[in-house]
Amino acid sequence: MALAEAGARGGLLRWPRVFLFGDSITEYSFQENGWGAYLAERLVRKCDVVNRGISGYNSRWAKLILPRLITESTSADSIVAVTIFFGANDSALKELNPKQHVPLEEYAANLKSMVQYLKSVEITADRIILITPPPLQESAWEKACLAKGDKLNRCNATTGQYAQACVQVARECGTDVLDLWTLMQKDQDFSSYLSDGLHLSAKGNSFLAAQLWSRLENKLSALPSLLPYWRDVDHTNPEASLL
């Protein structure tokens, strides 16, 4: 049987997708021991985990590019979960980092706009998870800023306001939310969750992965493995098992 004929007979194999949309904390999530890599490993042969993290971006820019990443014509129906993870850059202090800063009310409106857009392309609220920015460890981040010749350009209390706004948007829009800012600070010293005061350490990645998996497992664990286990393939007639 020619390969083209075999493909036509069996039909196109389409993996469902988990879509990760965010800033550098998402972009870096496929590094060794990253939270995105953890999800990809857990979901191998069930879902493709698509990393659309864009370092340095805020919700203002994200809102503009989301319709270029997901449209009805690019199989939005195959997306089984979307994470929206912005706020670490939006919450930068305006006077010290005006390029990335987004005012609090606009940040909330941008998140709401992104959720509404996803709903408009038939991605239902139960498939959307908002993630708040993690807490900021100011002394460590100040060292990172000083090393670049900058002043401390974020503070944890401000980040917390953005986290609260994210939680409120999720409540209003009926989506799930992972409140990292609050959860990580239940451990009195949360600095071990962060590599430089802002981005996640190996422990922080592991924490986020576990928290996110607890929200995704019920949605995704029932998805079938695509293609049969190799021992179940009829080696005398593989077409019967694979097409």
pLDDT confidence band for 141 (50 / 70 / 90) = confident
Q: Does domain 17-220 have CATH number 3.40.50.1110?
A: yes
CB atoms under 10 Å from CB of 10, counted, come to 11
Between 5-9, 29-33, 154-158, the lowest mean confidence (pLDDT) is in 5-9
Q: Is 101 a catalytic residue?
A: no
Return the ∠ at Cα 26 (arms to 151 and 120), rounded to 5°: 115
Q: Is 235 a catalytic residue?
A: no
Please, are residues 23 and 85 in contact by the beta-carbon 8 Å criterion? yes
Q: Which of 2-11, 74-83, 183-192, 208-217 has the highest mean pLDDT?
A: 208-217
Return the ∠ at Cα 77 (arms to 39 and 218), rounded to 5°: 40
pLDDT confidence band for 221 (50 / 70 / 90) = confident
Say what the pLDDT of residue 85 is. 98
* 13 has pLDDT over 90: no
Average pLDDT rounded to a whole number, residues 61-70: 96
Q: Which candidate in 29, 176, 195, 199 is catalytic? A: 199
Say what the pLDDT of residue 8 is. 56
Say what the pLDDT of residue 175 is. 97
Q: Is 179 a catalytic residue?
A: no
Say what the pLDDT of residue 178 is. 98
The pLDDT tens digits for 67-126 are 999 988 766 678 999 999 999 999 999 999 999 999 999 999 999 999 999 999 999 999
The amino acid at 185: Q
Say what the pLDDT of residue 220 is. 86
Between 18-22, 140-144, 200-204, the lowest mean confidence (pLDDT) is in 140-144
Say what the pLDDT of residue 124 is. 93
Q: Which candidate in 24, 113, 191, 206 is catalytic? A: 24
Q: Which candidate in 48, 196, 201, 206 is catalytic? A: 196
Say what the pLDDT of residue 5 is. 61
Q: What share of the chain has pLDDT > 70, as a percent? A: 94
30, 110, 138, 169, 191 from 61: Cα distances, Å? 22, 9, 25, 18, 29
Say what the pLDDT of residue 1 is. 53
The pLDDT tens digits for 16-42 are 999 999 999 999 999 999 999 999 999
Alpha helices by DSSP H, listed for the chain, are 3-10, 24-27, 35-42, 59-69, 104-120, 138-147, 156-173, 180-184, 202-220, 238-242
Enumerate the domain spans of the chain. 17-220
15, 106, 242 from 6: Cα distances, Å? 18, 52, 10
* 183 has pLDDT over 70: yes
* 224 has pLDDT over 90: no
